[in-house]
Structure 1
């Protein structure tokens, strides 16, 4: 009886008391508080209100953190679609709204993985909204490489902006010459497009958030390919545009933690 009494006292002393002094059971974490790995699978949904088509690379689940980032992006785009669909209430759009996304793994090395997402979301109007995103993943750090982390120096973004603007300006002039426009039309086109380019390439990380690395045979970065969706640096008809910025220009401004990734 003494042993049992001591055991009971010991149990009571290790159980947190309630306000009334009664012992509580051990505290456990609520179900669902631990993040479970995300397993990405292709999605196809079709009904008379909306259509969803999403495809992923077969190997993407090898990188759980990257898979989670892609899933979060997909869910955000899907939420935008469903908000527009639900605005109809019991009615339905004249043509099904649509979300189309294709993820492609464009770089896969031990140090760098990159995925390109291209698609559109249609919620009425003449055409869908382009969806352009790029994900650069560092497997050793299990983290996404972002533009602001890669180039923390404002001078770096000024150098990148100057280079990108020059390339895009030159491309506009060349297209205008090829189209053999009338002088007045040519001047108007160049002026309006230059204005879009200059606004869309202001020297800040947010304007250069979508990029993928261009690698040499040894896996080092020789350039960053910055991707600009329609409307950022040109009209919708110009589509998605890209500019490769060489490593030699980038390296003086790259954060030391990432300098080893670049060719010298």
Structure 2
């Protein structure tokens, strides 16, 4: 420590020792290099704030993740830093974690007991949920989750959710609350959605799709019954909505999920309430 090496610190006041420790460059720093050590400035600033009675700036929120694997249950729950810094969302996710884990453990214990009584092998259950950011703009934070549940059967199931946080009003809202009406929004996106779904189906199946209302896996489904996720590429405006479709809804289980990305166009923007249109990108 420059300036105090070779000297005892016992005779210095505690405040002076702390200030020296906070401000002194490391031994590896050369003359003129102190400016390259931003941590020193932060430490000194925090120390000065404490001495003057000013509160220190809050620490940035960290992403949350809990993982645990036992003979009963493989469990995981995660959400991003953007959600962790909003107390209401952090509390909501924390409660969902506790309830979901407790219910999953209860089911796994009951299943294991039944397996022992029937003398057949028990298969450990799984419950995994991960929330990620789909859009983080000045007005909205849009999150989406993917959950995997396995309870010992032939295969597990994947499900999806969306959450929209209105930063201006500091509250959670529904995607449909942004629309002039769900019917108007459905009409605005239906043709594009159906065409894009047929294209996605064809890519998975390796052959063109002949749409038929008599076949659940070739007819166009209702996008409003699926998970709608606002998205943003630049973090400035919502520039699209992705329709997330779980297994079995648009095709057999083997095809998995579908995600149909719809950029904002004039028809979609018109179906958004005037008070929210400024948060959406101009029509492409």
Give the alignment's TM-score, normalised by structure 2: 0.63
Counterpart among 217, 222, 245 of residue 202 in structure 1: 222
The equivalent residue for 2:268 is 250
Match of 1:225 in 2: 242
Query: For 2:219 and 2:239, how far apart are their aligned partners in 1?
Result: 25
Instruction: Tell me which residue corresponds to 1:111.
Output: 139
Q: For the structure 1 residues 194 and 158, does the alpha-carbon distance in structure 2 shift closer, same or farther, using more than 3 Å as the test?
A: farther
Match of 1:49 in 2: 72
Is the 8 Å Cα contact of residues 168 and 197 (structure 1) preserved in structure 2? no
Deviates more, 1:65-74 or 1:107-116: 65-74
Question: Corresponding residue for 1:88?
Answer: 111
| Partner Cα separation in structure 2 for residue 75 and residue 192 of structure 1 | 43
Q: Aligned match of 2:86 in 28, 42, 63? A: 63
Distance 1:141 1:127 in 2: 42
User: Are the aligned partners of 1:173 and 1:190 in contact in 2 as well (CA < 8 Å)?
Assistant: no
Shift of 1:117: 1.6
1:161 aligns with 2:203: no
197, 200, 205: which one aligns with 1:171 = 200
Q: Secondary structure at the match of 1:195?
A: coil
- Structure 1's unaligned 5+ residue stretches are 1-38, 180-185
Taking the aligned partners of 1:72 and 1:140, their CA distance within structure 2 comes to 25
On the 8 A contact 1:172/1:190 being kept in 2, the answer is no
Name the CA distance, whole Å, in 2 between partners of 1:218 and 1:88. Answer: 45
Find the residue that maps to 1:87 and give its secondary structure: helix
* Equivalent residues of 1:135, 1:212 under 8 A apart: no
Q: CA deviation at 1:224?
A: 1.1
Please state how far the C-alpha of 1:198 moved relative to its aligned partner: 4.0
Q: Deviations over 1:32-75 (max 9, x none)?
A: xxxxxxx9842223332222122222443211223234345445
Within 1, Cα distance between the matches of 2:235 and 2:161?
26
**Aligned counterparts of 2:242 and 2:141: Cα–Cα separation in 1:** 14
Indicate conservation of the 8 Å contact 1:193/1:233, yes or no.
no
> Measured at CA, do residues 64 and 236 of structure 1 come closer, stay the same or move farther in structure 2, by a change above 3 Å?
same
Q: 2-side partners of 1:69 and 1:225: how far apart?
A: 24
CA contact (8 A) 2:204 2:255 kept: no
SS in 1 for 2:268: helix
The alpha carbon displacement at 1:121 in A equals 0.8
Q: What RMSD in Å do the two structures reach over aligned CA positions?
A: 3.2
Separation (CA, whole Å) in 2 of partners of 1:147 and 1:237: 29
Residue 253 of structure 1: how far off its partner (Å): 0.9
| Equivalent residue in structure 1 for 2:278, among 236, 239, 260 | 260
- Aligned to 1:128, which of 156, 161, 178? 156
CA 1:219 to 1:148, structure 2 compared with 1: closer, same or farther past 3 Å?
A: same
Pick from 127, 130, 136: which aligns with 1:99?
A: 127
Measured in 2, the distance between the counterparts of 1:193 and 1:116 equals 32
Whole-Å Cα distance in 1 between the matches of residues 105 and 247 of structure 2?
Answer: 23
TM-score normalised to structure 1 length = 0.67
